[in-house]
Amino acid sequence: MSSMRWIYRIAAGAALLGFVLGAAYAAYELHNTAFVREFQSGEQSAAAERWIAIAHRGAIDGVGFGALGLLLSLVAVAMARLRVRADQQRFGAELAASVILATVAFCGWVSVAQLADDALPFLQAPALLLLNVVGVLGSLVCFVGFDAIVRRLPGAAPTGPAAVALASTGAAWLACHYSFSIIKGVSGGFRSPARLGMAAGCFVLALVAAVVLARLLNAPLRALAERCARGRLVPRALTAVVGGLLLLAMAVTGANFEMSASSDVVEYATLRVKGEPASGPRVVWITIDTLRADHLGSYGYQRPTSPTLDAIAAEGTLFTDPTAPASWTKPSTGTILTGLHPSRHGALYHGSQLQLPEGERTLAEAFREAGYATAGFVSNPNIKKVFGFDRGFDEYFDSPVEDTVTLASIRGSHFGQVLMKLMRHQFNWKYENDVHQMNAHILAWLDRNRDVPFFLYLHYIDPHLPYSPPEPYLRQFAQDHGAVTFNRREELVGIDLYDGEIRYLDDGIKELVQHLKALELWDDTLVVVTSDHGEEFFEHGVTGHGFSLYQGVMAVPVFLRGPGVARGRRVDAPVQVLDLPATVLDLAGTGVTQLGDGASFAQAARLGGWTSDGPLYMESEFGTDDSNHRSFVFSGVRQGQWKLVLTEENAYFPPATYGAQALFNLDEDPEEQVNLIEREEHRELVSELLEGLSSHATFLQGAGFRDVEPASMDPEVLQQLQALGYMGG
Give 79-124 pLDDT, tens digit per residue: 999 988 756 668 888 999 999 999 999 999 999 998 899 999 999 9
Question: In terms of domains, do 320 and 441 share one?
Answer: yes
Q: Collapse the DSSP code of 613 into the 3-class scheme (helix H, G, I; strand E, B; otherwise coil) and give the result.
A: coil
Question: In terms of domains, do 248 and 330 share one?
Answer: no
Is residue 93 domain-resident? yes
List, in sequence order, every beta strand (DSSP E) within 632-675.
632-639, 642-650, 661-665
Confidence band, pLDDT 50/70/90 cuts, at residue 2: confident
724: pLDDT strictly greater than 60? no
HSE-up of 495 (CA within 13 Å, CB side)? 19
What is the arithmetic mean of pLDDT over 240-259? 97
Crossing angle of helices 161-183/91-111, nearest 10°?
20
Confidence band, pLDDT 50/70/90 cuts, at residue 723: low
pLDDT of residue 400: 79
719: pLDDT strictly greater than 70? no
**Spatial distance between the Cα atoms of 305 and 293, rounded to a whole number of angstroms:** 11
Residue 704 DSSP label: S
362: pLDDT strictly greater than 90? yes
Question: In terms of domains, do 221 and 329 share one?
Answer: no
Question: In terms of domains, do 512 and 460 share one?
Answer: yes
Question: What does the pLDDT look like over 530-574, one tens digit per residue?
Answer: 999 999 999 999 999 999 999 999 999 999 999 999 999 999 999
Is residue 659 domain-resident? no
230: pLDDT strictly greater than 70? yes
Question: In terms of domains, do 364 and 473 share one?
Answer: yes
Is residue 654 domain-resident? no
713: pLDDT strictly greater than 50? no
The answer to whether 411 and 448 are in contact (CB under 8 A) is no
**Spatial distance between the Cα atoms of 236 and 9, rounded to a whole number of angstroms:** 13
pLDDT of residue 420: 96
Q: Collapse the DSSP code of 647 into the 3-class scheme (helix H, G, I; strand E, B; otherwise coil) and give the result.
A: strand
**Spatial distance between the Cα atoms of 565 and 605, rounded to a whole number of angstroms:** 5
Confidence band, pLDDT 50/70/90 cuts, at residue 226: confident
% of the chain surpassing 90 pLDDT: 77
Domain termination site, one of 614, 638, 667: 614
The answer to whether 160 and 218 are in contact (CB under 8 A) is yes
Is residue 263 domain-resident? no
Helix (H) or strand (E) run with residue 44 in it: none
What is the arithmetic mean of pLDDT over 597-622? 90
**Spatial distance between the Cα atoms of 329 and 707, rounded to a whole number of angstroms:** 20
How many of the other CB atoms lie within 10 Å of CB of 485?
11
Domain termination site, one of 209, 238, 255: 255
Tell me the C-alpha to C-alpha distance, in Å, between residue 325 and each of 264, 332, 336. Answer: 35, 5, 9
Q: How many domains, the chain?
A: 2
**Spatial distance between the Cα atoms of 507 and 439, rounded to a whole number of angstroms:** 11
Hey, what amino acid is at 374? T
Q: What is the dihedral of CA 390, 395, 400, 401, to 10 degrees?
A: 80
Question: In terms of domains, do 215 and 290 share one?
Answer: no
Is residue 723 domain-resident? no
Confidence band, pLDDT 50/70/90 cuts, at residue 712: very low
Question: What does the pLDDT look like over 294-306, one tens digit per residue?
Answer: 999 999 999 999 9
Average pLDDT, the chain: 92
Residue 401 DSSP label: B
Question: What does the pLDDT look like over 466-486, one tens digit per residue?
Answer: 899 999 999 999 999 998 999
**Spatial distance between the Cα atoms of 163 and 391, rounded to a whole number of angstroms:** 66
Domain termination site, one of 255, 290, 305: 255
Preceding amide of 466 cis, omega within 30: yes
488: pLDDT strictly greater than 90? yes
Question: What does the pLDDT look like over 62-74, one tens digit per residue?
Answer: 999 999 999 999 9
Question: What does the pLDDT look like over 389-421, one tens digit per residue?
Answer: 999 999 999 987 778 999 999 999 999 999 999
Confidence band, pLDDT 50/70/90 cuts, at residue 609: confident
Q: Is 361 left (phi over 0), alpha (psi -120 to 50) or beta?
A: beta
Give the residue from 148, 144, 174, 158 showing the smallest Cα distance to 212: 158
What is the arithmetic mean of pLDDT over 220-226? 89
Which CATH number covers residue 439? 3.40.720.10
The answer to whether 401 and 429 are in contact (CB under 8 A) is yes
**Spatial distance between the Cα atoms of 503 and 476, rounded to a whole number of angstroms:** 9
Question: In terms of domains, do 286 and 250 share one?
Answer: no
**Spatial distance between the Cα atoms of 536 and 552, rounded to a whole number of angstroms:** 5
Question: In terms of domains, do 299 and 349 share one?
Answer: yes
721: pLDDT strictly greater than 60? no
Q: What are phi and psi of 384, to 5 degrees?
A: -75, 170
Question: In terms of domains, do 247 and 287 share one?
Answer: no
627: pLDDT strictly greater than 70? no
Question: In terms of domains, do 363 and 496 share one?
Answer: yes
Q: Collapse the DSSP code of 640 into the 3-class scheme (helix H, G, I; strand E, B; otherwise coil) and give the result.
A: coil
Question: In terms of domains, do 251 and 287 share one?
Answer: no
pLDDT of residue 317: 97
Crossing angle of helices 486-518/307-314, nearest 10°?
60
What is the arithmetic mean of pLDDT over 152-181? 92
Q: Which of 177-186, 279-288, 509-518 has the lowest mean pLDDT?
A: 177-186
pLDDT of residue 33: 86
pLDDT of residue 261: 77
Q: Collapse the DSSP code of 630 into the 3-class scheme (helix H, G, I; strand E, B; otherwise coil) and give the result.
A: coil
Is residue 431 domain-resident? yes
The answer to whether 721 and 727 are in contact (CB under 8 A) is yes
Tell me the C-alpha to C-alpha distance, in Å, between residue 426 and each of 23, 53, 403, 408, 486. Answer: 21, 18, 12, 10, 21
Is residue 131 domain-resident? yes
Q: Is 269 exposed, middle or buried (0-12, 13-18, 19+ CB in 10 A)?
A: exposed
Q: Which of 22-31, 428-437, 478-487, 672-681 has the lowest mean pLDDT?
A: 428-437
pLDDT of residue 705: 80
Question: In terms of domains, do 337 and 217 share one?
Answer: no
Range(s) of the domain holding residue 435:
282-614
**Spatial distance between the Cα atoms of 725 and 463, rounded to a whole number of angstroms:** 13
310: pLDDT strictly greater than 70? yes
Is residue 692 domain-resident? no
Q: What is the 3-state secondary structure (H, E, C) of 93-109?
A: HHHHHHHHHHHHHHHHH
